[in-house]
Amino acid sequence: MAIDAASVRRASGVAKASGVAMAAATALLLFTACAASPPAPDLAGFLERRATCDHFRGEVPDPPDPERLREISRQADAYCTGTDAQLAALRQRYRDDPAVTKQLAQLEDRIER
């Protein structure tokens, strides 16, 4: 099979177009990965702690068990204490990040006793 100059130019054009498409796809993936990056450690830790806090705040044993109620109260105190101030600080820190602001807006401002 003979390869002529026109075939080489056509193949070269396809390779260049494919290279441009690959570069564009790679840039898009990197942009998407950066935009969907995991939350900052302080935010992630707070959200996990707050979820555990909210779990214990909503737990009520049925039938009422005094020992279990004391345990739930201890756990709620352990996970919830300080979260009101931490939530306020995170809202201030991430006030310019619409995605984080929206996520933090879903939480109650004052839950501590």
33 and 44 in one domain?
Answer: no
H helix and E strand count, the chain: 5, 0
Residues 76 and 53 sit within 8 Å (Cβ to Cβ): yes
* Same domain? 43 vs 30: no
**pLDDT band for position 16 (50/70/90)?**
very low
Q: Are residues 55 and 99 in the same domain?
A: yes
Amino acid making up residue 15 = A
If asked whether residues 31 and 47 sit together in one domain, one would say no
Q: State how far the Cα of 57 lies from the Cα of 80, in Å rounded to an integer.
A: 9
In the block, which residue shows the tokens 């302080």? 42
Specify the number of domains making up the chain: 2
Q: How wide is the angle at C-alpha 47 spanned by C-alphas 44 and 48, nearest 5°?
A: 85
For residues 95 and 12, the model is more confident at 95
- How confident is the model over 29-75, as pLDDT tens digits? 333 333 455 667 799 999 999 999 999 999 988 888 999 999 999 99
- Domain containing 81 equals 38-113
The pTM score is 0.63
